[in-house]
């Protein structure tokens, strides 16, 4: 067996909250064979298998009595290029932002709005990651996953993935599919998505009238760096709550009470509310209870100031949910996977 399995390993380095919990067993898979070895080992020893990527979308609330498998496979390749549309494939263990930068260096557009999102390529379809008007599904061209029930490989097309706002088939069926590699349809003549005011404002401040994908990426990196704390400096998982989607009638009633409500009409007639605005208006921005807190600059981000446990962070999140529901009649849904 080429797979190296260690016993009783701290997961603190492997989750961006920096929560101190232990894994009964831990391994890193660098290719498909090692993934299969991990599955076989877990079955043989009666262990569940917990697959993680960059650990940036996790809240661990206790020790994991499981084999924790970190996807560490690497590889970037161009599968097809007709001079305009380019099909790119990346292994699941590739860190997301370096992958985005690699596509930009190849002269490819499409992923620039998703710059500086933490995590790995394999985790990106789970959440259908999105930022600044673009979601992964907009550039998705397929993926290969291992069916943990049958052991067979399966290729998924866009319509089979059931992508929705921060959701997918793979999130709906936890423990079933293990994503091995993902394909993206990018362009040498991209259409830039500049719908978000802060991005346009940043480019204007720099005197950039005809931005390139690299320009957009740099602007978004600057904005995200100013708004969101670096997990290496302050433990966090980025946005902790999804932006709630409500009916147009509910949004109208809220706007009557709060003229400055931040809301975005959706194509289906519903309205997406800014969870950060709701949390800040409720008075939680900058709140701290021990080492569990809400970031002082971005109310959507829960932070670990050092030694907060996962349960303490989850308790804080529950308190915020209850308060926002009481004040606004809106339910906030937690975005990270709570284990």
Known catalytic membership, residue 166: yes
Among residues 334, 286, 288, 338, the alpha carbon closest in space to that of 311 is found at: 338
C-alpha to C-alpha distance for 132 and 114, rounded to whole angstroms? 8
C-alpha to C-alpha distance for 275 and 332, rounded to whole angstroms? 7
Q: Are the beta carbons of 324 and 282 closer than 8 angstroms?
A: yes
Among 56, 168, 217, 239, the one annotated catalytic: 239
Known catalytic membership, residue 335: yes
Among 148, 166, 202, 218, the one annotated catalytic: 166
Give the 3-state DSSP-derived string for the chain, with helices as H, strands as E and coil as C.
CCCCEEEEEECHHHCCCCCCCEEEEEEEECCHHHHHHHHHHHHHCCCEEEEECCCCCEECCCCEEEEEEEECCCCEEEEEECCCEEEEEEECCCEHHHHHHHHHHCCCECCHHHCCCCCECCCHHHHCCEECCEEHHHCEEEEEEEECCCCCEEEECHHHHCCECCECHHHHCCCCEEEEEEEEEEECCCCCCCCCHHHHHHHHHCCCCCCCHHHHHHHHHHHHHHHCCCCCCCEEEEECECCCEECHHHHHHHHHHCCCCCEEECCCCCEEECHHHHHHHCCCCCCEECCEEECCCCCCEEEECCCCCHHHHHHHHHHHHHHHHHHHCCCCCECCEEC
Known catalytic membership, residue 205: no
Residues labelled catalytic: 166, 239, 335
């Amino acid at each position: 067996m080429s797979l190296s399995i260690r016993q009783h390993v701290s997961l603190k380095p492997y989750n961006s909250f920096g929560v101190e919990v232990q894994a009964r067993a831990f391994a890193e898979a660098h290719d498909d064979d090692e993934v299969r070895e991990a599955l076989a080992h877990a079955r043989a020893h009666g262990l569940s298998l917990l697959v993680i990527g960059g650990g940036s979308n996790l809240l661990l609330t206790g020790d994991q009595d499981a084999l924790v498998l970190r996807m560490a496979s690497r590889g970037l390749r161009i599968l097809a290029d007709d001079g305009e549309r380019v099909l790119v494939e990346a292994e699941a263990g590739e860190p997301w932002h370096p992958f985005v930068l690699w596509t930009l260096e190849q002269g490819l557009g499409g992923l620039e709005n998703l710059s500086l999102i933490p995590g790995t390529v394999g985790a990106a379809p789970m959440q259908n990651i999105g930022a600044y008007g673009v979601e992964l599904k907009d550039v998705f061209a397929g993926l290969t996953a291992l069916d943990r029930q049958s052991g067979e490989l399966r290729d998924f097309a866009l319509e089979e993935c059931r992508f929705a706002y921060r959701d997918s088939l793979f999130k709906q069926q936890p423990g079933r599919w293990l994503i091995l590699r993902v394909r993206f349809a990018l362009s040498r003549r991209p259409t830039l998505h500049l719908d978000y005011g802060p991005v346009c404002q940043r480019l204007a401040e720099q005197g950039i009238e005809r931005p390139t994908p690299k320009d957009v990426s740099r602007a978004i990196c600057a904005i995200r760096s100013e708004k969101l704390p670096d997990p290496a400096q302050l433990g966090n998982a980025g946005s902790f709550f999804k932006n709630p989607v409500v009916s147009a009638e509910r949004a109208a009633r809220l706007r009557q009470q709060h003229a400055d409500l931040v809301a975005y009409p959706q194509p289906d007639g519903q309205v997406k509310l800014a969870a950060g605005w709701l949390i800040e208006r409720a008075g939680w921005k900058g709140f701290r209870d021990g080492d569990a807190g809400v970031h002082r600059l971005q109310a959507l981000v829960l932070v670990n100031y050092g030694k907060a446990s996962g349960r303490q962070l989850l308790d804080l999140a529950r308190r915020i949910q209850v308060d926002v529901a009481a004040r606004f009649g809106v339910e906030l849904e937690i975005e990270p996977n709570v284990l």
